[in-house]
Amino acid sequence: MNIRYLYASVALVLLGLGFEATTAVTGIAAAEPQTLTLGAAAPDFDLPGIDGRDYSLSDFDSAKVLVVIFTCNHCPTAQAYEQRIIDLHRDYAKRDVALVAISPNDPLAVRLDELGYSDLNDSFEEMKLRAKQRDFKFPYLYDGDTQKTSREYGALATPHVFIFDAARRLRYVGRIDDNDVKQPTSHDARNAIEELLAGKQVRVPQTRVFGCSTKWSDKRPQAAESLAKWNAETAELAAISPTDLHQQLTKPSDKYRLVNVWATWCIPCVEEMDDLVTIHRMYRGREFELITISADDPASKDKAQKVLKNKHCSARNFMVEIKNQDELFDAVDPEWQGAVPYTMLISPAGEVVHRVHGEFDSLELKRVIVDHLGRTYAPRN
């Protein structure tokens, strides 16, 4: 077995057992890479694309200009620039300009709370989902396993742009433009492409880069530590009256409320609680909270409490003190017909904006949540 893959396998086993993966174990250098200097030759690469084929530098030999953009799925800045990357490819594809996007991040080094602006992590499989969702027409390559290419280029953030001339010498490095969520005033990458196509020197060859830092593999221990910390949180189950529950769900709030009705005797309910806990950890740092409601008889409170504890569900967990089932239905949602599981997303205004009767699709639910919360940072003042 190749020693690199042996080290990686050992690291994954240790992470699964709750141990910290160290640089000594993984064999991955922790030093911050240096960004490629202007005039340097483009480093070659051999990376898998989401379209099922591998790509190297020679695949773009016919292009007069090569644009390499390091970007990813989860970063709010990268998501803010997705349409502009799509537009760059569309506008220059017929003008002898090749564009290739590379995801530099190790998905195992990304904490769940770093996914608060996304429905997807940065795994290869989830890159395929994002490319399909956004209809990427350009190659989208994965470098998350070894990160060798990302280190050689010195990709510091997502997005980070490298533009090479016909001789594959670096002529521009930095940002796409000067603003991610407002109207840009300096179209730096486009200006560099136009100047190279015209045979001119790039007037502004280097700009500062801004966005999410590259998630190097030496950050895996921090990701594992965050899981251990969340798992240590208490999972409380509080009794509540139907009237108080209804008020909790309908009163104005500063948060979106994801409400899930479950029961210990409902196997799908218990199974999908793992996804609910993940969703809670992803979005709770934003204007979001998870509320679970046990439909069990109050006499089974200890059993419900045990499930919540085993699942590490540290959300706001309630068990309703009712005289009959209709009280529970009316307190939760008049449109709920009573079958569990039942899930709904409530806006800060107290309006139900999404309902799922029965089991939810985790990816679809995350997509609904993040589309309401927003995928990018608020505009800067």
Q: Are 107 and 122 in contact (CB under 8 A)?
A: yes
Q: Residue 117: which residues within 8 A CB-CB, separation 6 or more?
A: 74, 75, 76, 79, 286, 370, 373, 374, 375, 376, 377
Rounded to 10 deg, the angle between the 3-17 and 220-231 helix axes is 20
Share of residues in the chain with pLDDT > 90 (%): 88
Say how far apart CA 281 and CA 162 lie, in whole Å: 34
Q: How many residues belong to the chain?
A: 381
3-state DSSP percent of the chain in helix, strand and coil, to 5: 40, 20, 40
Which pLDDT score, from 0 to 100, does residue 30 have? 55
Q: Are 85 and 94 in contact (CB under 8 A)?
A: no
120 CB burial (10 A radius; 0-12, 13-18, 19+):
buried
Average pLDDT over residues 345-363: 97
Average pLDDT over residues 162-188: 96
Record the pTM. Answer: 0.89
CA atoms within 13 A on the CB side of 327: 13
Say how far apart CA 357 and CA 379 lie, in whole Å: 36
CA atoms within 13 A on the CB side of 121: 17
Give the model's confidence band at 279: pLDDT under 50 very low, under 70 low, under 90 confident, else very high.
Answer: very high
Which pLDDT score, from 0 to 100, does residue 205 have? 98
CA atoms within 13 A on the CB side of 99: 25
Say how far apart CA 211 and CA 78 lie, in whole Å: 7
Say how far apart CA 138 and CA 89 lie, in whole Å: 7
CA atoms within 13 A on the CB side of 350: 10
Given a cut of 70, whether residue 9 has pLDDT beyond it is no
Give the model's confidence band at 356: pLDDT under 50 very low, under 70 low, under 90 confident, else very high.
Answer: very high
Residue 159: how many CB atoms within 10 A of its CB?
Answer: 27
Average pLDDT over residues 314-327: 93
Which pLDDT score, from 0 to 100, does residue 220 have? 97
Pairing assessment for the beta strands 342-346 and 256-262 based on DSSP bridges: antiparallel
Q: Are 152 and 139 in contact (CB under 8 A)?
A: no
Q: Are 224 and 21 in contact (CB under 8 A)?
A: yes
Which pLDDT score, from 0 to 100, does residue 31 have? 74
Q: pLDDT tens digits for 79-124? A: 999 999 999 999 999 999 999 999 999 999 999 999 999 999 999 9
Average pLDDT over residues 302-321: 97
Average pLDDT over residues 199-214: 97
Average pLDDT over residues 221-232: 97
Comparing CA positions, the residue from 286, 211, 213, 290 lying closest to residue 257 is: 290
Which pLDDT score, from 0 to 100, does residue 226 have? 98
Average pLDDT over residues 324-328: 89
Q: Are 372 and 287 in contact (CB under 8 A)?
A: no
Q: 3-class SS at 74?
A: coil
For the chain, the average pLDDT equals 92
Give the model's confidence band at 22: pLDDT under 50 very low, under 70 low, under 90 confident, else very high.
Answer: very low
Identify the structural domains of the chain with CATH numbers, from first to last: 31-215 (3.40.30.10), 233-373 (3.40.30.10)
Q: pLDDT tens digits for 257-268? A: 999 999 999 999
What is the dihedral angle through the alpha carbons of 225, 227, 229, 235, rounded to the nearest 10 degrees? -170
Q: pLDDT tens digits for 31-65? A: 789 999 999 999 999 999 999 999 999 999 999 99
Least confident of 148-162, 279-293, 315-329: 315-329
Comparing CA positions, the residue from 297, 287, 246 lying closest to residue 373 is: 287
Which pLDDT score, from 0 to 100, does residue 100 have? 98
Which pLDDT score, from 0 to 100, does residue 381 have? 40
Given a cut of 90, whether residue 24 has pLDDT beyond it is no
